[in-house]
Amino acid sequence: MMKTNLLISVFMIFLSACSDKVVDNIDDISLPHSEEKIYDYVKINDSTLVFSQIVDSLEGWKIIDVTSDYGEIEVYADKVKFKSPSYPGISNIKYTIENNNKTRYVDSIKIVVFSQLLFLKADDIINEDYKPISEKWERFINLIIKKKAKASLGIIAKTLDWGGFYYESYLKGLNATGQFEIWNHGFDHFDPHVNSDGIFVHEFKNSSFEQQLEHLRLAQNYVKDKLGITMHTFGAPGNAIDNNTIKALDEIEEIKVWYYGLLGSSKLVLNRTNEIEITTFNPNYQKFIENYSSGSEYLALQIHPNAWDKNQFSEFEKILDFLIANKVTFMNPYEYYLVLENKRILNSLVKE
């Protein structure tokens, strides 16, 4: 009984998130919901269990119909499976369920069919004198918007001290769009220095656990206080990290994703794959396509837009157009974490 009640609760929460009202009679009615709400991401030529499978575990509910406009639906006694086609696209899955009182719900979910996920790790966002954002960052952000891509923007929290009201408002607006994610790129990104033992000390490498934890917390709190944003992704300055970083991140519950992290972390680690900047700050279109890993499930690509000149912006735009032509699906890190976490929760409920 406990499991059934939990399943009912989960189902109703999901339904209420997608819909505005519930009907109390037998007539079918389509329940409106956000056109942007994505239920799942499924790789081409793969399959996944659709959420409405849980209806079969609920007392008094049954599936009346499930259809898809892209991909195949297979309905079994205890589950509904979506089989993705061999080409990227969006599947609109309509489902109808009914209870013993003949109350019927009709709704739909979207599943994105992808060939490759793409994360843009854009480091060191910053303002400019008398402007909310630097001219180069503005050019990059406008390009991402124009191309309908997505990008995650790494902020050094201490830079908010000299950004001002308009910079803060600009960042809040970007983060609210869902097209951009502000992430933790350290508190002050201090320059490495050699300690008394001759060892290079970075903000998150060869520094103590206590210092690393303090800087993580300072950055989280700074951004939360000034922007009202809880950051869920971390990437170290210079990607310089050690085992103390693992331990420090374990203490920050709200951080869920770690760009270029270490094995053994409890966080979702996005590994470094191909390179847009063939050397730091230097995008190279020809080298990128020569090394492009088309078979990788995802690419997490590091860039530094504020360091680019006109030619380097041109190289980046050509790379972006190449990726779009190859039908990649742009995502941001925390968005990806939520998709995986929702799958984990639902699968655990069904298997219990």
Question: Sign of the C-alpha dihedral, residues 135, 138, 144, 150?
Answer: positive
pLDDT at 110 over 70: yes
What average pLDDT does range 172-180 have in this prediction? 96
Of the candidates 269, 266, 264, 254, which has an alpha carbon nearest to the alpha carbon of residue 300? 269
DSSP letter string, 99-125 = ETT--EEEEEEEEEEES-EEEEEEEEE
What is the per-residue pLDDT for 1?
A: 42
Question: Sign of the C-alpha dihedral, residues 247, 334, 12, 46?
Answer: negative
Q: How confident is the model at residue 252 (pLDDT cuts 50, 70, 90)?
A: very high
What is the per-residue pLDDT for 121?
A: 99
> How distant is the alpha carbon of residue 310 from its chain centre?
29
What is the per-residue pLDDT for 100?
A: 83
Of the candidates 143, 95, 104, 91, which has an alpha carbon nearest to the alpha carbon of residue 120? 143
Superfamily of domain 117-336: Glycoside hydrolase/deacetylase (3.20.20.370)
Domains 2-114 and 117-336 share a fold: no
What is the per-residue pLDDT for 137?
A: 97
Q: Which residue has the higher pLDDT, 346 or 82?
A: 82
Query: What integer best gives the mean pLDDT of the chain?
Result: 86
347: part of which helix (H) or strand (E)?
helix 333-351
164: part of which helix (H) or strand (E)?
helix 164-177
pLDDT at 340 over 80: yes
Q: Whole-angstrom Cα distance, residue 70 to residue 293?
A: 26
Tokens encoding 9: 């609760």
Q: How far is CA 163 from CA 169, 194, 229, 232, 237, in A?
A: 10, 30, 16, 22, 20
DSSP class of residue 197 equals T
Q: How far is CA 144 from CA 137, 223, 314, in A?
A: 11, 23, 13
Give 286-292's long-range contacts (Cβ < 8 A, gap of 24+).
288/319, 288/322, 289/319, 289/322, 292/322
CB 280 within 8 A of CB 291: no
What average pLDDT does range 27-31 have in this prediction? 34
pLDDT at 247 over 90: yes
The total number of residues shown for the chain amounts to 352
Tokens encoding 310: 């006109």
Which amino acid, residue 200?
Answer: F
Percentage of the chain lying above the pLDDT 90 cut: 66
Q: Whole-angstrom Cα distance, residue 127 to residue 276?
A: 24
What is the per-residue pLDDT for 51?
A: 59
- Which residue ranges make up each domain of the chain? 2-114, 117-336
Q: Half-sphere exposure of residue 215, counting CA atoms within 13 Å on the CB side? A: 24
Of the candidates 334, 340, 302, 332, which has an alpha carbon nearest to the alpha carbon of residue 319? 302
pLDDT at 135 over 90: yes
Q: How confident is the model at residue 14 (pLDDT cuts 50, 70, 90)?
A: very low
CB 76 within 8 A of CB 56: no
Question: Sign of the C-alpha dihedral, residues 297, 329, 32, 230?
Answer: positive
pLDDT at 277 over 80: yes
Cα angle value 86/92/94 (rounded, 5°) = 130
Q: Whole-angstrom Cα distance, residue 336 to residue 341?
A: 9
Domain covering 2-114, topology = Immunoglobulin-like (2.60.40)
> Strand 72-75 vs strand 80-83: parallel, antiparallel, or unpaired?
antiparallel
